[in-house]
Amino acid sequence: MLSVYLSGEIHTDWRDEIAQGADGMGIVFNAPVTDHGASDDCGVNILGAEDDKYWHDHKGAMVNAIRTRKGIEEADVVVVRFGDKYKQWNAAFDAGYAAALGKSLIILQPAEHDHALKEVNAAALAVARTPDQVVAILRYVVEGTLPG
Amino acid sequence: MLSVYLSGEIHTDWRDEIAQGADGMGIVFNAPVTDHGASDDCGVNILGAEDDKYWHDHKGAMVNAIRTRKGIEEADVVVVRFGDKYKQWNAAFDAGYAAALGKSLIILQPAEHDHALKEVNAAALAVARTPDQVVAILRYVVEGTLPG
Amino acid sequence: MLSVYLSGEIHTDWRDEIAQGADGMGIVFNAPVTDHGASDDCGVNILGAEDDKYWHDHKGAMVNAIRTRKGIEEADVVVVRFGDKYKQWNAAFDAGYAAALGKSLIILQPAEHDHALKEVNAAALAVARTPDQVVAILRYVVEGTLPG
Amino acid sequence: MLSVYLSGEIHTDWRDEIAQGADGMGIVFNAPVTDHGASDDCGVNILGAEDDKYWHDHKGAMVNAIRTRKGIEEADVVVVRFGDKYKQWNAAFDAGYAAALGKSLIILQPAEHDHALKEVNAAALAVARTPDQVVAILRYVVEGTLPG
Amino acid sequence: MLSVYLSGEIHTDWRDEIAQGADGMGIVFNAPVTDHGASDDCGVNILGAEDDKYWHDHKGAMVNAIRTRKGIEEADVVVVRFGDKYKQWNAAFDAGYAAALGKSLIILQPAEHDHALKEVNAAALAVARTPDQVVAILRYVVEGTLPG
Amino acid sequence: MLSVYLSGEIHTDWRDEIAQGADGMGIVFNAPVTDHGASDDCGVNILGAEDDKYWHDHKGAMVNAIRTRKGIEEADVVVVRFGDKYKQWNAAFDAGYAAALGKSLIILQPAEHDHALKEVNAAALAVARTPDQVVAILRYVVEGTLPG
Amino acid sequence: MLSVYLSGEIHTDWRDEIAQGADGMGIVFNAPVTDHGASDDCGVNILGAEDDKYWHDHKGAMVNAIRTRKGIEEADVVVVRFGDKYKQWNAAFDAGYAAALGKSLIILQPAEHDHALKEVNAAALAVARTPDQVVAILRYVVEGTLPG
Amino acid sequence: MLSVYLSGEIHTDWRDEIAQGADGMGIVFNAPVTDHGASDDCGVNILGAEDDKYWHDHKGAMVNAIRTRKGIEEADVVVVRFGDKYKQWNAAFDAGYAAALGKSLIILQPAEHDHALKEVNAAALAVARTPDQVVAILRYVVEGTLPG
């Protein structure tokens, strides 16, 4: 059984595309909480409000880390998606974290980011452009077969 | 003896400021190659040209990784600087790599990045705004004394 | 599946509160033996009496360590509860042990202990005041949803 | 060369007694910052004030952790001293942290704490009552000779 | 679920006593091959005869190591039994191997060996005299209850 | 349950012989993709063509590494088969990789390679000549019984 | 200080070329014993003759492993040279061993081996064709400067 | 620089023979305390008498473990000597401990113990009969030269 963690961009449905494409392969997928508001506010929502925005963010980031760490540490493969917008430093952080743990890393990114992501890509075993390519890799890893 | 790796932004002289401020503390500093051109071209310069820009970048990023990995793995403290410009995904990648290895992490960043860096900061033991603050932390860690 | 170890104070029913609150989430909970008398006497009860109280305690503490170590090492999340009374050094010891193993640590403590626990809290991903808050964190980690 | 970390109680001169007693043995001693005020305020002093006492403490505890972690991780032997007063949860936390890393642990404590420290003691290779006993152990470990 | 490896003496039925006593506790027991002849000859039986008794023994010991290593590495608890006869260096070797891996170690031995086994016992969490005591420890670890 | 990875030569049906011989023992077998063409072309087939044969090979080797690493890292026993032809450096690489991870290593090779494989064999727990011998070892490890 | 292990082919003077080229960089080089006869016979020379050539080789390979393992484990960078002749499985084994330990790997090989070495190369951070290129990489890693 | 730990039998001068034979090779040797009386009594001598002989032994064995663990953990090579007399379980324990840590193991033993030590020998890289053979191995490892 393959365990795959899907890190990074949370504004498109790429996780669903991969999960649907990989349906029936017996893969277990994990991911961060993709509800942006919940992810930002989980710390203060549960543990109490903070006056200072910095600590508001900090409490949330630490609660999210419980889920993220478990997801990465249990994964055989970590897919990190970089989108078109935002800083996405948490995605690059997850990639570094996964690389240091020796996880098999797949980067999913548009070609325009190639130069900026070259250090991240250098730690990866595959750089994909589309969710379908990620599905094809997972199928090959699990079933040993190639598309068409 | 404390070993400190200075990762991230390479367009200002923050590394020199820290090294000078920490002069006499017996700290060993390491860093990536900060000559931007050399860093981009080291792979093809040494190992031969590539027609494809992707592999040009890839060869360079892999050669740089030899130096980066050694620097981070030998460090007690990893300082990661985020500047005002560029994607800086390699900085965030280094932070994640260092965090997974259990290194003490200091993030040096302007306050405007606080929200975007909240996951990175949550893995750090200190978030500093100026090189002087980093120096003060290192002095406290090594000598046990505070400014003023 | 999330594995959670509930360490620390054994004189109130906080473990039951958490377990009941988390019912249906598929979490496996482990804990030390909470029968105070059994915990103190397990060594001599099984392996033979000791004249010296020190070795009486020692034999028991070592037998308990078999259970404690397994519980912490298998856990994804270690919750450590500090109560109002007693030295509770075993709770702080468990927190340090879990931190060194890289476990996600949640400290459950009354605010009056904040200063005395600051080093312990600094190693934690959350500091909660009530069992309900711990349940809410676990729910968020497992299900990605927030209260209310 | 033996590296020894001296953790715990900071209100008596036990560290000096051990260092003087071990003079000439070639042992390197490390310790936390023992200036209580500096230890409490280092975070806000260097990185800026906090309105909330909790975050004041938190920033300081994290900066101290840089020094503490390095000290424990580099040590062959970790001596943890429990005194007569205060909660001393940081001492017990250090003991647990050191135990999980497989360090040789020596607990230095008055007999009145034997029962409360039984789980901590069970992870130790020696439980001493006086700094002189710690010196004698270090001499035996380094030089192979016994007192008198 | 607890995994227990039963190492050492193979001429009495102590393994059966423990397994029967622990029936219903959900413990998985593993052990070396206890057929003395098969254990001695497995190497040459499968891989071909050796003229030299030393290599005859060596081939067998290496094949047995496949089973032994797996058993110890998967175990939470390693019980090592020393009997009245023979050198039993393989038992002490297994104890050292398990100790270095951080396994919870229970030594099962007659009191007459106490002095000769003091270094081995010092690495153990319990020293038992009878299989029943081992069963009682396992029951306490799994169920939290004491005999009678 | 024993997990066995079958590395190396892909031109004969030795994997099937072992799997059939071990039928009913409850062993889980994993292996690289043994379709030579798919294995060579998986990278470019999924991720896009390369003009340069070197990078064509590189992309494929990296995708295959996702499967290979998982197979070796999850294995208790790694069997590496050397055949009569080809360089087979990937087989020797896998053997070194498995050895460094502390896996139990079985080398399956014709006697003519004994001298050339002496460093590889020195890291193994068994050197077999036929798939039947590997089956016999696995049966002994799992069931404790010898042939005939 | 950089520690570099030079593994593989022992019939040309490539190690000297690299050591001379890197003179003055403060690099420590280690290597296997390159006296072919001594390397083959060290086991029986020291520990006594064997009738069987297999065990003759085995004893030697194990004695050589003491030196090899230390060299690889202490290295920051492992250079593995593949030449034109022989099976060179020990070189590929060392590459796999180094890769599993997370060492920075440089493969030095003629282009004709590219396809056969693709799995080995996929684990490397650089694939060089000449000792001069290896020297240039080491200079870049240590001094941050490029040729010419 | 090679670090060698000399474990086991303490009644002959084999450690001196090896140290003298290896004079000038730059090897650092460590060993347990070989004063039998001091080794037995160090615990009670330093930390106070025990009525019960078991705890007398236990306290001593634990203090000795501080030295033994450091010696083995820092060693590249662990030599374990088995003599003609006594149980020598501590020697076999050290061998197992060293093996689990991946140390290069050399067993020094008379041939009469071959069968009883076969499991221990199977974990070793060399089985020597005389201190001179150990010296020759160390010289080969350090200098690459063979006797005469």
Residue E61 confidence (pLDDT): 98
pTM for this model (two decimals): 0.98
Distance CA E57, CA H122 (A): 9
pLDDT tens digits, one per residue of B58-114:
999 999 999 999 999 999 999 999 998 889 999 999 999 999 999 999 999 999 999
Q: Is the pLDDT of residue H148 over 90?
A: no
Query: Do the chains contact at G125 and B42, CB–CB below 8 Å?
Result: no
Q: Is the pLDDT of residue G10 over 80?
A: yes
Minimum distance, in Å, between the CA of residue D86 and any CA atom of chain C: 8
Distance CA H78, CA B139 (A): 40
Q: Work out the percent of chain C whose per-residue pLDDT is above 90.
A: 96
Residues of C in contact with A65 (CB under 8 A): 104, 125
Q: In chain C, which residues touch D (CB < 8 A)?
A: 53-54, 57-58, 60-62, 64-65, 68, 82, 86-101, 113-123
Q: Is residue F46 part of a domain?
A: no
Minimum distance, in Å, between the CA of residue B67 and any CA atom of chain D: 23
Minimum distance, in Å, between the CA of residue G62 and any CA atom of chain E: 14
pLDDT tens digits, one per residue of D120-138:
999 999 999 999 999 999 9
Q: How confident is the model at residue H85 (pLDDT cuts 50, 70, 90)?
A: confident
Q: Is residue D85 part of a domain?
A: yes
pLDDT tens digits, one per residue of A40-53:
999 999 999 999 99
Residues of F in contact with A145 (CB under 8 A): 38
- Mutation target to probe the F interface, by most F beta carbons within 10 A, among G55, G82, G89 is G89
pLDDT tens digits, one per residue of A111-122:
999 999 999 999
Helix (H) or strand (E) segment spanning residue A108: strand A104-108
Interface B:F, Cβ pairs < 8 A: 9
- Which token pair is E118? 């003091």
Residue D85 confidence (pLDDT): 87
Residues of E in contact with F141 (CB under 8 A): 63, 66-67, 70
Minimum distance, in Å, between the CA of residue A103 and any CA atom of chain D: 23
Tell me the one-letter amino acid at D14: W
The contacts of residue D103 (CB under 8 Å, 6+ apart) are: D72, D75, D76, D77, D78
Alpha helices in chain H (DSSP H): 14-21, 36-47, 53-74, 89-100, 118-121, 131-143
DSSP D113-130: GTTTTHHHHTT-SEEESS
Residue B148 confidence (pLDDT): 76
- The interaxial angle of helices A14-21 and A131-143, nearest 10 deg, is 30
Residue A85 confidence (pLDDT): 87
B139 closest CA partner among B12, B102, B148, C119 = B148
pLDDT tens digits, one per residue of G55-113:
999 999 999 999 999 999 999 999 999 998 889 999 999 999 999 999 999 999 999 99
Contacting chains of H (3 CB pairs or more, <8 Å) are: C, D, E, G
Distance CA A28, CA B35 (A): 43
Residue C81 confidence (pLDDT): 98
Q: Is residue F64 part of a domain?
A: no
**Which chain B residue shows the shortest CA-CA distance from D28?**
B1
Residue G148 confidence (pLDDT): 76
Give the burial string for G70-109 (b: 16+ CB within 10 Å, else e): bbbbebbbbbbbbbeeebbbbbbbbbbbbbbbebbbbbbb
Kindly report the CATH number assigned to the domain that includes residue B105.
Answer: 3.40.50.450
Q: Is residue C56 part of a domain?
A: no
State the total domains in chain C: 1
Query: Do the chains contact at D90 and C92, CB–CB below 8 Å?
Result: yes
Q: Is residue B110 part of a domain?
A: yes
Query: Do the chains contact at H66 and D141, CB–CB below 8 Å?
Result: yes
- Which token pair is C119? 């080093």
Cβ burial, residue E120 (10 Å; 0-12/13-18/19+):
buried
Minimum distance, in Å, between the CA of residue G52 and any CA atom of chain E: 9
pLDDT tens digits, one per residue of D69-106:
999 999 999 999 999 888 999 999 999 999 999 999 99
Q: Is the pLDDT of residue C148 over 90?
A: no
What 3-state DSSP class applies to B59?
A: helix
Length of chain B: 148
Distance CA C101, CA H146 (A): 45
Q: Is residue B56 part of a domain?
A: no
Task: Give the residue ranges of chain F where pLDDT is below 50.
Answer: none
Spatial contact of A99 and A126, defined as CB atoms under 8 Å apart: no
Interface C:D, Cβ pairs < 8 A: 122
Give the nearest partner residue to F76 out of E35, E43, E70, using CB atoms: E70
- Per residue, what are the HEC states of F76-121? CEEEEECCCCCCCHHHHHHHHHHHHCCCEEEEECCHHHCCCCHHHH
Minimum distance, in Å, between the CA of residue B51 and any CA atom of chain D: 46
Q: Is residue E50 part of a domain?
A: no
Distance CA E17, CA F22 (A): 31
Average pLDDT over residues C87-95: 97
DSSP chain E: --EEEEEE--SSSHHHHHHHHTTTS-PEEE-----HHHHHHHHHHHH---SSHHHHHHHHHHHHHHHHHHHHHH-SEEEEE--SSS--HHHHHHHHHHHHTT-EEEEE--GGGTTTTHHHHTT-SEEESSHHHHHHHHHHHHH-----
Where in the sequence is the domain holding C136, given as residue range(s)? 2-32+73-143
Q: Is the pLDDT of residue C85 over 90?
A: no
Spatial contact of H107 and H101, defined as CB atoms under 8 Å apart: no
Please give the backbone phi and psi of residue D3, each rounded to the nearest 5 degrees, phi first.
-110, 125
pLDDT tens digits, one per residue of H104-142:
999 999 999 999 999 999 999 999 999 999 999 999 999
ipTM over 0.90: yes
Minimum distance, in Å, between the CA of residue H32 and any CA atom of chain E: 12
Q: Is residue E43 part of a domain?
A: no
Average pLDDT over residues H73-91: 96
Mean pLDDT of chain C: 97
Helix (H) or strand (E) segment spanning residue B60: helix B53-74
Query: Do the chains contact at G126 and B42, CB–CB below 8 Å?
Result: no
Helix (H) or strand (E) segment spanning residue A14: helix A14-21
- Considering Cα of C8, then C13, then C16, then C20, what sign does the dihedral take? negative
Give the nearest partner residue to A33 out of C2, C137, C144, using CB atoms: C144
Q: Work out the percent of chain E whose per-residue pLDDT is above 90.
A: 96
Distance CA E141, CA C42 (A): 10
Q: How confident is the model at residue B10 (pLDDT cuts 50, 70, 90)?
A: very high
Residues of B in contact with G141 (CB under 8 A): 63, 66-67, 70
**Which chain G residue shows the shortest CA-CA distance from H75?**
G70
Residue D148 confidence (pLDDT): 76
Cα E24 from chain centroid (whole Å) = 21
Q: In chain B, which residues touch F (CB < 8 A)?
A: 50-52, 55
Residues of A in contact with F63 (CB under 8 A): 125-126, 137, 140-141
- The interaxial angle of helices H36-47 and D131-143, nearest 10 deg, is 170
